[in-house]
Amino acid sequence: MAKASAADARSIAIDDLTDAQAKKELAALARELAEHDWRYYQQDAPTISDEQYDALRRRNEAIEARFQDLVRADSPSKRVGAPVAAGFGKVVHRHPMLSLQNAFSEEEVRDFTDRIRRFLSLAEDEPVALVAEPKIDGLSASLRYENGKYVQGATRGDGITGEDVTANIATIAGVPKSIRGAPAVLEVRGEVYMGGEEFVRLNAAQEKAGKQQYANRRNAAAGSLRQIDPAVTAERQLKFFAYSPGEVGEVTWSSQWEFLQKLQKWGFPTNPLAKRCATVDEALALHRDIGAGRKGLGYDIDGVVYKVDRLDWQQRLGMVSRAPRWALAHKFAAEQAETIVRKIVVYVGRTGALTPLAQVEPVHVGGVTIANIGLHNEDVVAEKDVREGDTVIIQRAGDVIPQLVSVVKAKRPKNVAKAGPWEMPDRCPICKSAATREEGEAVRRCTGGLICSAQAVERLIHFCSRLAFDIRGLGDIQISQFWENGDIQEPADIFTLPKRAEQLKPPLSERPGWGETKMRNLFSAVNSRRTIGLDRFLYSLGIRHVGESTARLLAMHFGSLDALRTTLDGARDEDSDARAALDSIDQVGPVLAQALIDFFVEPANKKVIDDLVEVVTVEEFAKPASTSAISGKTIVFTGTLEKMTRDEAKARAQQLGAKVAGSVSKKTDLVVLGPGAGSKAKDAERLGITTIDEDEWLTLAGK
Ligand code: IVH
C-alpha cells in the first residue's frame, strides 16, 4: 500500500485551520503543486490523477480565500497552465491564446446571451446567432503561415509564451504545409488531440516497452506532441481540428461561420458537428444532441463552445480577464458509468488520516480512466454500504473529483452479501500502530506519528520548526531529501547527522548544493539544539492536540520527562492511574488525555523518545516563580516588540507565572504596548487597564 499525500483528503476543515496551520499548508501545497506541474507539463508523467490534482488546487484556493494575508508570492493560484518546458524554444504569441468562461447549466447559457444583448444594447427581438462547436479535450496549438507556407507551430504554454513545436506539428496528418488564397500572415489555432483507438494502441505499446502509460487521452496527446524527436510524434497518430484565428494580415471574413468555411477551403480539418445556431434555443438543443452522441465520437469532448457569430460584435464585446466575452464553454453534466469494486484499500495521509479508497475496474468516464475513487471516511463507506465485489455507479464531470454515487444492490453477488459490511482497520496499514477515532470525528488516525512513513516527513518538519527544536538549515526540502535517501528516519537521526555526514551515500559534501559553509551552518544549528526545555520537547513530538500551550501546561505539571513517562507508562485501561492523574490536571480533558495515552503507550513512540534522549538533554521545567510581580496576572502584548520576539516575551511572561491572552478584556491586568499598537491600546484605555512600554516590560521581566 502506498503512502498517499495527495489522496489524503487533508484532514483539517478549512474553517478550523489556525493561522500557523494555514501558513504551513499553503507552503506544502505550493511545493507539491509545483512538483506535480513539473511532472505533468515537463515530464508528461503525472503521479496523481487529475482529480487529486484539482482537489489540491481547490484546497489551496479555499485556504487562500480565508487567509488572504497568507497568499504566497509563489502561490499555485497565480500560475495558469503550463510553464514552458525545457528542451523546446520559446514562442511569444503575437496574440495571447485565451481561455474560455464556463457554464454548467442552460440557465447560465441564457444569462450569457442576455449579458451580450445588454452589452451591445440589442433589442429583445434582435437575434444573436451563435456558432456552436464541440469542445475538444486535447491541447491547443497555434499554427503560423507566412505567404501560404507553414513556418511555425507552438503550444499554448501559459497563453503568452508557448513552446516551439514546429517540426512536431508538421507530422500531424491533415495539417496543411502550404495553403492557397490565404492572407500573407495567417495564424490558425485549434486543438491537437488523440483518438480513442490510438490511445489504446499507444498505451499497450508503452506497457510492452515497460514505459509508463498515459492517464488519459489529453495527456497522451500532450506527451506525444512534446517529444524532442519529431519522428516519435509522427508515430503517434495525432489529429487536429482548427477553430479560431490568431494574428491575421488581412481579415477577409465577417463571421466565425464564414471563418470556418475558409479554414475548410484552405484545407484545415474542422469539426463536422459545428453548426451556426440562429437562437440560443437552437444552440442548447445542439448541446443536448452532441452530449447524447459523445461516446460514439472516437475522441473526447467535454462540452460545447458557443461563439457569437458576428465578428464586429466580437470586437465590440472584447475580453473579460483572459477570456473573450463573446464565447462560452458549456460543459457536459457529470457522466456516469458502472463498474466493479475490486478492493477497498486504506491510504494514510501526511497527517495520519486514514482514507478508504475503492479500487475499481478501470472505466473511461468524463474524459479520464478512473481506477480509484476516494471514499472519504468509514462513515461514508457504511452509509453507502460499499463492499469489495459490489457493482457501483460512479460519476465525474469536467474537472470534478470522481464520486461513487451508489451501489447497485441488485447486482451484489451472494458471497459479498454474506460477507457483511466492510470494516475499517483499527491498525495503520503502513506502520501497524493503533488507528483511533475521536468522539465526534469522522476521521480515523494513525497514532504512529514519527515512525509512520506516511507521516514522517511532515512530522520531522514539525520537529525542526521554530517553536519546536528550531533547527535552522533543515527546511522542508532538506528534510524530504534526507528522508527519501534514508539518512534521517527518526528525530534522533538529526543529531547523529554531523557524525555520519561523510559516511552517507553519497557523502553529504558530494551532494549538489551542499557546500562547506552550508554544511557547517547545518551542523552548528544541530549542535546548538542538543539541550531543550521540556515544553518545547513535548511540542516537537507532534502529539495530537498538544500544541504549544498544552505542551507548556504538561511540562509545568510534570516538571520532568521522566515524571511524565512514568505516569503514562502502562496506561491502557479505562480506569488506570494514568487516566486519573491526567484527569486531575486543570485544562486536560478526556480527548487530550486519550491522545497522550495513545501516544505514550505505543512502543514505536517510546523508542523514538528513548533514542532521542540518548542524543539530547531534556531540561526539567523551571516552575514559574510564584513570587514574581506578574504571577497570576493576565497580560496582553500588542504592537511590535523590538527587543525580544513576541514568542519569547510570551514564554517569559508564562515563566513568571502570568497568563498571556490575545485580546484585551475586563480580565486583563496589564497591556504591553509596542510601537504600532492599535485597537488593543484603545481597549485598554477604555477599560482603565494599566499599560507599559517595552522597556518597562523588560525591567519587569528581569532582562
Ligand atoms: S476557442 C478565444 N473553440 O478550450 C478562443 N477552444 O477552455 C479560445 N477548446 O484553450 C478558444 N475546443 O484549448 C475554442 N472549439 C473550440 C475548442 C476550444 C477546445 C479548448 C482550447 C482552449 C480551452 C479553453
Lining ligand 1 with CB less than 6 A are 98-100, 133, 135-136, 140, 191, 243-244, 305, 324, 327, 329
The residue whose C-alpha atom lies closest to atom 23 belonging to ligand 1 is 99
Which ligand 1 atom lies nearest to the CA of residue 133? 15
Question: Residue 5's pLDDT is what?
Answer: 38
- pLDDT, mean of residues 477-497: 92
Question: Residue 236's pLDDT is what?
Answer: 94
DSSP notation for 493-535: HHHHHHHHGGGSSS-GGGSTT--HHHHHHHHHHHHTTSEEEHH
Active-site positions read 135
Beta bridge partners, 693, equal: 673
The residue whose C-alpha atom lies closest to atom 17 belonging to ligand 1 is 135
Question: Residue 445's pLDDT is what?
Answer: 93
C-alpha–C-alpha distance, residues 6 and 55, integer Å: 8
More confident residue, 161 or 80: 161
Query: 3-state class of 364 per DSSP?
Result: strand
Q: What are phi and psi of 544, to 5 degrees?
A: -60, 140
Q: What is the mean pLDDT of the chain?
A: 88
- Contact call for residues 562 and 597 (beta carbons, < 8 A): no
More confident residue, 166 or 351: 166
Amino acid at 430: I
Indicate the pLDDT class of residue 97, thresholds 50, 70 and 90: very high
Of 2-6, 310-314, 425-429, the least confident: 2-6
Beta bridge partners, 139, equal: 192
User: Is the four-CA dihedral 520, 526, 529, 530 of positive or negative sign?
Assistant: negative
131, 137, 243: which to mutate for ligand 1, most atoms within 8 A of CB? 243
Question: Residue 82's pLDDT is what?
Answer: 55
Which ligand 1 atom lies nearest to the CA of residue 102? 7
- Return the H-helix or E-strand segment holding 451: none
Question: Residue 154's pLDDT is what?
Answer: 97
51 C-alpha to ligand 1 centroid (Å): 21
Question: Residue 32's pLDDT is what?
Answer: 85
C-alpha–C-alpha distance, residues 124 and 117, integer Å: 8
Which ligand 1 atom lies nearest to the CA of residue 140? 13
Indicate the pLDDT class of residue 360, thresholds 50, 70 and 90: very high
Question: Residue 585's pLDDT is what?
Answer: 79
C-alpha–C-alpha distance, residues 674 and 695, integer Å: 10
More confident residue, 600 or 57: 600
Query: 3-state class of 437 per DSSP?
Result: strand
The residue whose C-alpha atom lies closest to atom 10 belonging to ligand 1 is 99
The residue whose C-alpha atom lies closest to atom 16 belonging to ligand 1 is 135
101, 102, 140: which to mutate for ligand 1, most atoms within 8 A of CB? 140
DSSP state of 663: S
More confident residue, 587 or 564: 564
Of 216-230, 348-362, 453-467, 652-666, the least confident: 652-666
- Contact call for residues 190 and 203 (beta carbons, < 8 A): no
80, 101, 191, 314: which to mutate for ligand 1, most atoms within 8 A of CB? 191
**pTM beyond 0.85:** no
The residue whose C-alpha atom lies closest to atom 9 belonging to ligand 1 is 135
pLDDT, one tens digit per residue, over 266-280 is: 999 999 999 999 999
The residue whose C-alpha atom lies closest to atom 5 belonging to ligand 1 is 98
- pLDDT, mean of residues 116-144: 94
pLDDT above 90 covers what percent of the chain? 55
135, 247, 302: which to mutate for ligand 1, most atoms within 8 A of CB? 135
Question: Residue 9's pLDDT is what?
Answer: 41
The residue whose C-alpha atom lies closest to atom 2 belonging to ligand 1 is 98
Indicate the pLDDT class of residue 661, thresholds 50, 70 and 90: confident
Query: 3-state class of 239 per DSSP?
Result: strand
C-alpha–C-alpha distance, residues 648 and 659, integer Å: 14
| Region of 251 on the Ramachandran plot (φ > 0 left; ψ -120 to 50 alpha; else beta) | beta
pLDDT score of 582 more than 70: yes
Question: Residue 398's pLDDT is what?
Answer: 57
Exposure of 66 in the CB half-sphere (CA atoms within 13 A): 17
Which ligand 1 atom lies nearest to the CA of residue 271? 15
pLDDT score of 521 more than 80: yes
- Contact call for residues 178 and 150 (beta carbons, < 8 A): yes
pLDDT score of 299 more than 80: yes
pLDDT score of 330 more than 80: yes
133 C-alpha to ligand 1 centroid (Å): 9
Which ligand 1 atom lies nearest to the CA of residue 323? 2
pLDDT, one tens digit per residue, over 623-644 is: 666 677 888 888 998 888 888 7
Question: Residue 519's pLDDT is what?
Answer: 94
Crossing angle for the helix pair 491-500 and 603-615, to the nearest 10 degrees: 40
